[in-house]
Structure 1
Amino acid sequence: MKTVMGIINLQEDNSLIRDLTARRAVESIPFAGRYRLIDFTLSSMVNSGISCVGVMLPDKPRSVLDHLRSGKDWDLARRHDGLFYLPAPQQEDMNRKGDLKNFYHNLDFFEHSSQRYVLLTSGSFVYNVDFSQLLRFHQNTNADITMVYNTATEEAHGKNVVIETAENGLVTDIAEKPAVYDGTQVSTNVYLMEKRIFVEMIRYTYEHGGQDFLIDGIIRRAAEYNIYGFEHDGYVAHVDSTAAYYKANMDILQPEVWEELFMGQHPIYTKVKDEVPVQYKETADVKNSLIANGCIVRGEVENSILFRGVNVAEGVKIKNSIIMQKCDIQEGSLIENVICDKNVIITKEKWLKGAANYPLIVTKNVVI
């Protein structure tokens, strides 16, 4: 995998998850108690042996830069290769929408790299993939482009890229659809190709008025390339909406999903923070929940995720909820089907309840 350069494209549509992305990029949203969404793609690359990773920065890059820093926690702080930040173009170029302008203005980085292949990914997917298997498949099929897909097991809504493949994996159709159903082959926004193909696609498509990499670079020019599909049959979640974020976190509470993502041979790395273990006081009652370090629990917590430093006072009942870092839930409060962003304070005797399929969101730094 030393011949592969990883690119993580952080230009995401956040229109369906704005409550959680007002001050951060989609990929830096906290997830599963101690991680950020970008950790899954970046860790999969590192575990696969990729040592050169470029991050296409979003319009709000501060949270991403603060989390990744030098890349040390992913063993990417290196003298040669390592982690690179690729900035968005200057303001005068913002009249053109889409992500192609970002790739085009960083073409010199791709052209001067020593790697032969480019692995282009998105940072908003939750999975644990061995990309070395993808490279072998790509080479054996002699494909121009290989797309990674997952077979849907239930209905999903949003901007889904659906593909159809022949028995040998050759892609026969690609399209964007607002909804998918059980058995549909859905792209995970992972593309592997030779660098020369990637550079030619970016330059030609952008200089001919294209704006979006997927639509203008691949779908509209699909007939020009030999495209194959590679199936990842493990767990995949695309966090492109508030409902998808809530569901993916609740999925983590299922033992089989947790074991697949975190307990296998390939760990998920994240920014290290040394904190004291959880303190469970005598009045605590915790069931099927994920509690991060630094929490103090005196109340009841059921089927929920608590991030670092959360304080749960006596008499509190938390159920089916996500409570982010350093929230303070005071005496007698009831929290059910709620997402609390960082540093939220719920004062005494407050009751907050959302719907099972439409959680209530309390935004960052709010006091209720």
Structure 2
Amino acid sequence: MAAVIDLNEDVHTLLPLTEHRPIGTLPFAGRYRLIDFPLSAITAADIHSVGLFMPESERSVQDHIRSGAAWNLDLIQGGVFLFPYVATRDYQNDDLRARYYENYTQFLRGSGSKYTVVMGAKNVANVNLNAILNYHKAGDNRITTVYKKLPLDRIRPTDWTLALSEQGTASAIVQAKERHDDQGKNEIPSFMDIYLLATTDLIDLLDDAAQSHVFRRLPELLRDYVLANNANAFEYTGYLARIDSIQRYYDSNLQMLDDASFQSLLLSSVPILTKSKNEVPSFFAKDATVVNSLLGTGTYIEGTVQDSVVFRNVVIHHDALVDHAVVMQGSKISTGSTVKYAILDKGVVIGPNLTIVGKPDKPIVLRKNQTVFRESEVEGSAHA
């Protein structure tokens, strides 16, 4: 197999966390980035050629991936291939539009692969790509899709879902709001943005699209391909989080405090790999209290942390309280301050004796490198 990871995912619903990074490099679970999950699945499947199709804000992707060594992809033959972003406004230009498709087809032809898996980064899961490949080979359709059954209360109107036939094949990929056959059902097959098909079929699909005067991105082409041909539908049964809103990002991080979710995602059949950072262990002062929390390395804890996810090199000073919060790398909470129901992006500094409190269903978000010395500087705080 070869693999394509398309990082051109809509970032607007995750602002301000995605002001300077794509969804794929959002930090997760104390030490990972979202892109680590598809890359780890690719490594476990022994895939040697990976095409990364870059978003507009690509610096953080390059910094995280580098040579691909963390995922054993720094190879003499194959490895990680990074393809530049082409702005949407340029697709009206015939040459630039052709380049979009040509980037894909050149990579696919050079990979020498029989099959290709196409993935995004906003679905956090522990996926066995070899099992999906075997399922595809045993199926009767030219393309295979992947889904997980989710309860109705976890499905939003704009979520992509599979329309399944009585034979268990996928007849279409539709948004949940367009479904009309779910009366009496307790679960809906949520589509995981994973496709697997023969490389030659994918090249033909892209070549045909290049001849059209109407530009369509690869995900749209593949959704239409499923509608035209039907698809094998592989059911995934492990942990799944769809990161496409602030609330879902917050909730899925805190779900890692649940042992069953943590084990299913991070200690399952596929080891989750990430860029290594050789840092000192976390330090806990004698008066520190840490309860039901996940901490990265290099943290310095003098205060109280409970029911929270804390990333690397975070400092929490004496008499500070962090409760039901996601605190990213390099942040600092000063003496006497309380942070609750909040997301602190990288490098946030909270001054002393402040109370920053959001709500479970509407966490406060502080921007990258934001410094707060007055509660009135924080929009949405209970004390603002």
Please state which band the TM-score falls in when normalised by the shorter chain: over 0.9
Alignment match, 2:261: 257
TM superposition shift of 1:302: 0.7
What amino acid is aligned across from residue 270 of structure 2 in structure 1?
H
Note closer, same or farther for the CA distance 1:238–1:206 as it changes in structure 2 (3 Å cut): farther
Q: Using structure 1 for the length normalisation, give the TM-score.
A: 0.93
Alignment match, 2:310: 306
Note closer, same or farther for the CA distance 1:350–1:92 as it changes in structure 2 (3 Å cut): closer
TM superposition shift of 1:297: 0.6
Aligned length: 362
Alignment match, 2:182: none
Alignment match, 1:346: 350
Alignment match, 1:213: 218
TM superposition shift of 1:103: 3.9
| Residues 206-252 of structure 1, C-alpha deviations (whole Å, 9 max, x = no match) | 4321423333x234444532411101011111111111111110111
| Residues 159-199 of structure 1, C-alpha deviations (whole Å, 9 max, x = no match) | 32111223543113321235999510011000000011111
Which residue, out of 34, 54, 62, partners 1:37? 34
Which residue, out of 241, 261, 276, partners 2:245? 241
TM superposition shift of 1:25: 1.1
Instruction: Give the Cα separation in 2 of the matches to 1:16 and 1:91.
Output: 19
Does residue 1:10 correspond to 2:7, yes or no? yes
Q: Secondary structure at the match of 1:152?
A: strand
Alignment match, 1:148: 146
Note closer, same or farther for the CA distance 1:49–1:36 as it changes in structure 2 (3 Å cut): same
Does residue 1:189 correspond to 2:196, yes or no? no
Question: What is the root-mean-square deviation in Å for CA atoms of aligned residues?
Answer: 2.1
Does residue 1:54 correspond to 2:51, yes or no? yes
Does residue 1:281 correspond to 2:279, yes or no? no
Q: Percent identity?
A: 28
Stretches of structure 2 lacking an aligned partner (at least 5 in a row): 180-184, 373-384
Which residue, out of 1, 10, 19, partners 2:16? 19
TM superposition shift of 1:38: 0.3
Instruction: Give the Cα separation in 2 of the matches to 1:201 and 1:92.
Output: 23
Which residue, out of 188, 194, 204, partners 1:200? 204
Does residue 1:124 correspond to 2:122, yes or no? yes
TM superposition shift of 1:273: 0.3
Q: Secondary structure at the match of 1:24?
A: coil
What amino acid is aligned across from residue 138 of structure 1 in structure 2?
H
Q: Secondary structure at the match of 2:361?
A: coil
Structure 1, 321-330 or 80-89: larger mean CA deviation: 80-89
| Residues 291-345 of structure 1, C-alpha deviations (whole Å, 9 max, x = no match) | 1110011111110011000001111111100000011100000100000001111
- Does the CA contact (< 8 Å) of 1:89 and 1:105 recur in 2? no
Q: Secondary structure at the match of 1:348?
A: coil
Note closer, same or farther for the CA distance 1:349–1:256 as it changes in structure 2 (3 Å cut): same
What amino acid is aligned across from residue 18 of structure 2 in structure 1?
T
Stretches of structure 1 lacking an aligned partner (at least 5 in a row): none
Alignment match, 1:163: 162
Q: Using structure 2 for the length normalisation, give the TM-score.
A: 0.89
- Does the CA contact (< 8 Å) of 2:161 and 2:176 recur in 1? yes
Q: Secondary structure at the match of 1:320?
A: strand
Note closer, same or farther for the CA distance 1:241–1:92 as it changes in structure 2 (3 Å cut): closer
Alignment match, 1:63: 60
TM superposition shift of 1:264: 2.7
Which residue, out of 107, 111, 119, partners 1:113? 111
Instruction: Give the Cα separation in 1 of the matches to 2:362 and 2:321.
Output: 19
